Structure 1
Amino acid sequence: MFFVDTLEFEGLGNRSYLAGGRRAAVVVDPPRDVDQVIALAARRGVRIAYVAETHVHNDYVTGGLELTRLTGARYLVPVGAHVSFPRTPVADGDMSEVDEDLVLRAIATLGHTPHHTSYVLEEGHAVAAFTGGSLLIGSVGRPDLVDPRLTEHLARARHASVHRLAATLDDEVPVLPTHGFGSFCSSSQAGGDASTIGQERNGNDAFTLDVDTFVKRILAGLEDVPAYYAHMGPANGAGPAPVDLTPPEPADAAQIAERLAAGEWLVDLRSRVAFADGHVAGSFNFEGTGKLAAYLAWLIPWGKPVTLLGDTPAQIADAHRELTRVGIDRPAAAATGDPATWARQGEQLTSFPRAGFADLAAARERGEDVVVLDVRRDSERANGFVESSVHIPLHEPHGRTGEVPDGTVWVHCAGGMRAATAASLLDATGRTVIAIDDGFEAAADTGLGITRP
């Protein structure tokens, strides 16, 4: 009897899988922090016999190499992937015996990358399809992460490969992708937590559209590639080093000030409410419960030292673990507890207001000098925006603060988290900001003019 366990990483929108039988298992697309995978296998009472990569990942650092070192498992990597470490190259049709009567079959599914490979778990018949970044739930992996010159070619290959994959599988086979649960690797917003081959045949554009229409739609919907993706592929190809999750060096108020003066990033993990109420001047707010790793790695100059500020050591530890998944391995230092202790004696914490869209409408009616900054993505703004608002997506304000007009800047996104981060970036430059902590759907009910293209 087989099993499939899912490890979910909400901050990156990814999943990894442990699948096997009574004695042995395979890990598909493992995370960088492999201790949890090993612990899960131990609870199952199985030996990790194989580690399988569907592709060289562009959005996170894999733990595959370290997992094979620790367990002695065979490392299955697609034959076309360029890597600098020993592995077992896997070609289309290759079979690996995971456990008694349990086989893993490789199926080439080019498109997300030129070497992408899916794996089908078979127990006499197909029981699960690990589709990596190829066939997602309601979507497919984006084809533009390797080389712009290959984008259209890969999009066409994607259409053909998922059709070929589905042709070999029954409708009831579960589709188990790595990306697509909020991941920026998805070519469009993927939906749902579970699906089958049959459901995808009936609802996924890759099956319901002809190839030319599919390619045109997928290319038109591609948005900016996160900047840190440029570092993930090379790190994975070279073979990532083990992670060190021991607590970072503690920092007192004097050290925090010194690190800030040296140009390091102070990242405050507390809630946006707590941050707005009082924070170290010059620090940035990335809520630990949000998409911390993705947005911090996207915005920070690569290699810039990071000092983490948080409520508790547990919050620091969780953030540290998540950041290792995108190659930010060791925080320079950390501080927890009362934020007042993070500032030197005689220095005060700084703050900024939070408001709703109704407050913005009232300020406009009073004739106040208001600048509205929309930090949503292009696709979100295309569905409607506040009239006369300035649009700079969240991943761009740190380098474009000079483009924000003079006046009090009311920053908004779709729900409040990204607005708080953008407000903190502007606040650190000395701008007067108000973070709109409100759902965008509320804007239309306040009298604000909403433009809908």
Structure 2
Amino acid sequence: MRTVEVEVVPTSSLGDRSYLAHDGEVAVVVDPQRDVDRVLTLAGRLGVRVAYVVETHLHNDYVSGGLALARTTGSRYLVAAADEVGFDRVPVTDGDEVTVSDRMRLQVVATPGHTFHHLSYVLHGPDGPVGVFSGGSLLFGTTGRTDLLGHRHTHALAAHQHRSVRRLADLLPDGAQVWPTHGFGSFCAAAQSDAPESTVGRERQVNPALRLAADDFVEQTLAGLDAYPAYYAHLGAVNAAGADPIDLTPARRADAAELADRIADGQWVVDLRSRTAFTSRHLTGTLSFGLDGPMATWLGWLAPWEAPLTLLGESEEQIAQAQRELARIGVDRPAAAATGDPGEWVDGVEERLVGLPRATFADLAAARAGAPPAGLPGVDVLLDVRLGNEWRTDHVEGAVHLPLADLPDRSDEVPAGTVWVHCGSGYRAAVAASLLARAGRTAVLVDDDYGVAADAGLPVVPGEPGP
């Protein structure tokens, strides 16, 4: 007899996972991302037919591909009956059971907390429960955050989350697998975990929802919440209405004159190359959002919603990858794109190409001591662009804190002078430095791991407790 198997379809750039469960013939897909070609390719390779597509919730952190996949495959689309949607679906509610095949069955479990109508799906095989697709409920070592529906609901949803996770643990044996959608870097998680997999038994040992009393869990959860991407506000409505199929046709190409016009107009012209390449040489007025980091998350967060974006990359592959990642969060079509070397983006006008000073924490310590390394300016301002919880844990003494998400609207609050800017590893600091440079400020990128700051001789002090 064929066994039930579960394939993971990761989207590491957003910190999410989709799943394809199958018995060798029939499959069910859970929480598919918008670019469903990956799922179709996987199903084809496995030789299975997608019979069901299910949603744990109408996601805030990406545009769902569920409707498009269901229509493409002719499968049944399961969505919570309590969700008001603009398309035909199979409404499901707590206690429903769905027979996928004679070897595979889904049990629908209401698990409110991440959202009010959140569902989990227990997967049963021939020998009983195999695991649970827990969406934004039970995650690896944590739970889904409870503040995405607004502050007024956060406390109530946190209490729901505690009950929901405990209900799942009561329903399932210790050996049952846990298959969450979030928790691999997604801001939908209340905290982060680096565990590659987990079981209900493991979660009993490590998960706060299963170790803490309800009041303690709610207090801890609310204290740990931090900012989340601004584009989340748009995606629930997009998914409830029914997203259009993804459009990955190549973006229109822009020449050097058009790029100059877009930059002069104050538009977001985005350099997708690594920050090392950007600091070496880039087109004046462009912004660093390298594809070697969470480009879509930060670009979608910082750029005005529906503002025209122009993408610059070394190759057609880079532009295509960026288009795919941006479309996942509802940024459907770039206004234009260009590829090649920065010299090709200025039509030979080398004066429009500049570099960006790049330093380490050891360089920063030397500069603060009055002896900046050759080629680096002195320090007038040290800007820390990490999140609030990171700052409150500890920070370099004397630094100014302005989270990266706030920088576009609050750059006038950065004190005058040369700004050295750092984050946790360099990616966010590169974005911030490029934003400051575009605004006419002199910026130095501290491209280094924050964990070495104290060893480099910089005084690190604890921050104030969070609210």
Scaled by the length of structure 1, what TM-score is found? 0.98
Distance in structure 2 (CA, Å) of the matches to 1:446 and 1:34: 47
What are the residue-to-residue correspondences of 1:116-195 with 2, within 5 Å? 116-124=118-126, 125-195=128-198
> Are the aligned partners of 1:269 and 1:286 in contact in 2 as well (CA < 8 Å)?
yes
| 2:257 equivalent to 1:247 | no
Unaligned runs of 5+ in 1: none
Tell me which residue corresponds to 2:370: 366
RMSD, aligned α-carbons: 1.1
Tell me which residue corresponds to 1:42: 44
Identity %: 53
Distance in structure 2 (CA, Å) of the matches to 1:155 and 1:75: 28
Q: Report Cα offsets for 1:380-429 as digits up to 9, x if no partner.
A: 11221111101011111111110111111001011111111110010101
Distance in structure 2 (CA, Å) of the matches to 1:157 and 1:450: 38
What are the residue-to-residue correspondences of 1:189-208 with 2, within 5 Å? 189-208=192-211
| 2:60 equivalent to 1:26 | no
Distance in structure 2 (CA, Å) of the matches to 1:382 and 1:22: 50
> Are the aligned partners of 2:4 and 2:103 in contact in 1 as well (CA < 8 Å)?
no
Match of 1:387 among 385, 397, 411: 397
Tell me which residue corresponds to 2:424: 414
Secondary structure of 1:59's partner? coil
How many equivalent pairs are there?
453
Distance in structure 2 (CA, Å) of the matches to 1:107 and 1:185: 20
| 2:451 equivalent to 1:451 | no
The Cα of 1:295 is off from its aligned counterpart by 0.7
Match of 1:98 among 96, 100, 103: 100
Secondary structure of 2:353's partner? coil
| 2:229 equivalent to 1:229 | no
Tell me which residue corresponds to 1:272: 275
Secondary structure of 1:38's partner? helix
> Are the aligned partners of 1:54 and 1:116 in contact in 2 as well (CA < 8 Å)?
yes
Secondary structure of 1:400's partner? helix
Distance in structure 1 (CA, Å) of the matches to 2:165 and 2:459: 44
Q: Report Cα offsets for 1:87-127 as digits up to 9, x if no partner.
A: 00111111111122211111111110000000011013011
The Cα of 1:369 is off from its aligned counterpart by 4.4
Q: Report Cα offsets for 1:325-369 as digits up to 9, x if no partner.
A: 000111111111111111144343011110011111111111744
Tell me which residue corresponds to 1:112: 114
Match of 1:297 among 291, 300, 304: 300
Secondary structure of 1:130's partner? strand
Distance in structure 2 (CA, Å) of the matches to 1:33 and 1:101: 29
Amino acid in the other structure paired with 2:358:
R
Q: Report Cα offsets for 1:258-312 as digits up to 9, x if no partner.
A: 2223332111010001001111111110111211111111001000011110111
> Are the aligned partners of 2:18 and 2:29 in contact in 1 as well (CA < 8 Å)?
yes
Distance in structure 2 (CA, Å) of the matches to 1:276 and 1:440: 19
Distance in structure 2 (CA, Å) of the matches to 1:255 and 1:50: 46
Amino acid in the other structure paired with 1:376:
R
Distance in structure 2 (CA, Å) of the matches to 1:420 and 1:28: 36
Tell me which residue corresponds to 1:260: 263
1:5–1:369 Cα change, 3 Å: closer
Distance in structure 2 (CA, Å) of the matches to 1:263 and 1:204: 46
Amino acid in the other structure paired with 1:73:
S
Tell me which residue corresponds to 2:333: 330
Q: Report Cα offsets for 1:14-59 as digits up to 9, x if no partner.
A: 0000111121101000000011111110111111100000001011
Match of 2:8 among 6, 23, 38: 6
Unaligned runs of 5+ in 2: 372-377
> Are the aligned partners of 1:156 and 1:215 in contact in 2 as well (CA < 8 Å)?
yes
> Are the aligned partners of 1:83 and 1:239 in contact in 2 as well (CA < 8 Å)?
yes
| 2:54 equivalent to 1:52 | yes
Tell me which residue corresponds to 1:424: 434
Distance in structure 1 (CA, Å) of the matches to 2:454 and 2:419: 20
| 2:329 equivalent to 1:319 | no
Secondary structure of 1:444's partner? coil
> Are the aligned partners of 2:32 and 2:66 in contact in 1 as well (CA < 8 Å)?
yes
| 2:445 equivalent to 1:435 | yes
Scaled by the length of structure 2, what TM-score is found? 0.95
Amino acid in the other structure paired with 1:202:
Q
Distance in structure 1 (CA, Å) of the matches to 2:367 and 2:111: 54
Distance in structure 2 (CA, Å) of the matches to 1:447 and 1:417: 22
Distance in structure 2 (CA, Å) of the matches to 1:96 and 1:443: 54
Distance in structure 2 (CA, Å) of the matches to 1:441 and 1:141: 27
> Are the aligned partners of 2:379 and 2:420 in contact in 1 as well (CA < 8 Å)?
no
| 2:74 equivalent to 1:72 | yes
> Are the aligned partners of 1:427 and 1:433 in contact in 2 as well (CA < 8 Å)?
yes
What are the residue-to-residue correspondences of 1:273-288 with 2, within 5 Å? 273-288=276-291
> Are the aligned partners of 1:80 and 1:114 in contact in 2 as well (CA < 8 Å)?
no
Distance in structure 1 (CA, Å) of the matches to 2:335 and 2:19: 32
Distance in structure 2 (CA, Å) of the matches to 1:77 and 1:206: 26
> Are the aligned partners of 1:21 and 1:100 in contact in 2 as well (CA < 8 Å)?
no
Distance in structure 2 (CA, Å) of the matches to 1:447 and 1:159: 43
Distance in structure 2 (CA, Å) of the matches to 1:260 and 1:69: 41
Distance in structure 1 (CA, Å) of the matches to 2:210 and 2:296: 33
Distance in structure 2 (CA, Å) of the matches to 1:190 and 1:442: 22
